[in-house]
Chain A
Amino acid sequence: MTVPLPYRVVSNRAETSDTRTIELCPVGEALPSFSPGQFAMVYAFGVGEIPVSVAGLRDGTLTHTVRRVGAVSRALCEAAPGTWVGVRGPFGTGWDLSAADGGDLLVVAGGIGLAPLRPLVRAALSSPGGRGRLNVLIGARTPEDLLYREELGGWGRPYCGVTVDRAGPGWSGHVGVVTTLLDQAAFSPRETTAFVCGPEVMIRATARELLHRGVPAERVRVSLERNMHCATGHCGHCQLGPLLLCRDGPVVGYDQAASLLAVREL
């Protein structure tokens, strides 16, 4: 859908000091349903439009977790219930959960990267299917920056681990980069599909470590972020080498992404 439809903010709650989760409900006609990993273009009237992943899917409503970094994300974070926004979508390739059939599933998230992975984890938990073990590894900057705290207890069979860059008083959990949690996870590398989302440096470090452990590159699925404008494959803003990430991504295999991520941007 390339024309924005009006949606109403039905709830807005704080996740962390700079991140909020908003729930949107169609005012009239609804967009086609989204799948995990896909994104919407959300327009804050009079301010602008940004790509935001779906962080939750429940019949008709769209949930987004937004971190305040600039004008549009701030406007969305501040949108009180009742506010109207414009939404286009669904866009992008999404996480293909069925790719993990017949093997273990590894979900690795850094920071706000956990938002687009949440619907994937929920889908995996609600339809165990023919998959093996589910491991969820989460890296956050500090314990206070951790998203969806109340939900994490039910994730990860057998393992859901959280590590922080900087511990504060009262944190007795793991400290260090997210890749150090891999030692705790139980998975057979050759039969594992990994879904990775976070800052690009974290994606590279995680993908390299997974490859080193024997996970095939095409089974390491990463979500890449570029500036997006049209989201329909026309303007070229989101180009990464031969890919237009709004159309060919944001989720791509690391076999394809590795060489593109090594190219310095101009």
Chain B
Amino acid sequence: MKRTGLLAAVPEGPRGRLMELSREVSFPAGTRIFEEGGKANRFWVIRSGSVSLDIHVPGRRAVVVETLGPGRLLGWSWVCPPHEWHLGAEATSQVRAWEFDAAEVLSLCERDPELDHALLSYVVEVIGRRLRAARTRLLDLYGPYGSEPEP
């Protein structure tokens, strides 16, 4: 399988050490993988299928804000306190993924600066990308006045 996302970003040596900590898991379509505010003690790299990220809106059904597909990192809230999920996640189709225990990975990172650097650089890039995407969407891009010039 062609490597994309996290596994492509981490060099071979540290990738091997990271993968030793992985477990193969699968989620049937419709499974709630985690809930907003829950303890963020794991993360996943999606191998196949797709996962929607949603946000709870009082009195309404959860609003989907993003969809993740193969190769993408699912979950980054384990990196920094308060270690709680920012969003909820649901499998929108049958999902196969590698699952990692955050505590095990963080403790390996303490002993393995090469992995620590590669993994955290990747996670920071992902957070940056998702922040950019969120900001772009806040502009209500494709709306009727989306292409108005700046005031």
Contacts and interface: CB of A to CB of B under 8 A. Distances in A.
A177 B142 contact: no
Contact of A225 (B5, B70, B133, B147): B147
Nearest to A113: B142
Interface in B14-35: none
Interface string A117-158: 000000000000000000000011100010000000000000
A189 to B, nearest CB: 13
Most A-side CB within 10 Å, residue of B61, B71, B147: B147
Interface residues of A, number: 35
Contact of A176 (B5, B133, B142): B133
Interface string B130-141: 001100110111
A141 B64 contact: no
Interface residues of B, number: 30
A179 B129 CA distance: 10
A201 B139 contact: yes
A174 B66 CA distance: 7
B140 to A, nearest CB: 7
A202 B136 contact: yes
A68 B50 CA distance: 35
A183 B66 contact: no
Interface string B110-151: 000000000000000000000011001101111111110110
B144 A175 contact: no
Interface stretch (A26-34, A165-173, A246-254): A165-173
Contacts of A265: 149-150
Contacts of A18: 144
Nearest to A225: B147
Interface of B: 4-5, 50, 52, 61, 63-67, 69-72, 92, 132-133, 136-137, 139-147, 149-150
The 7 residue pairs across chains A and B that have the minimum distance between CB atoms = A111-B142, A141-B142, A176-B66, A199-B147, A175-B64, A174-B67, A177-B133
Interface of A: 18, 67-69, 110-112, 139-141, 145, 163, 165-167, 169, 172-177, 179-180, 183-184, 198-202, 205, 225, 264-265
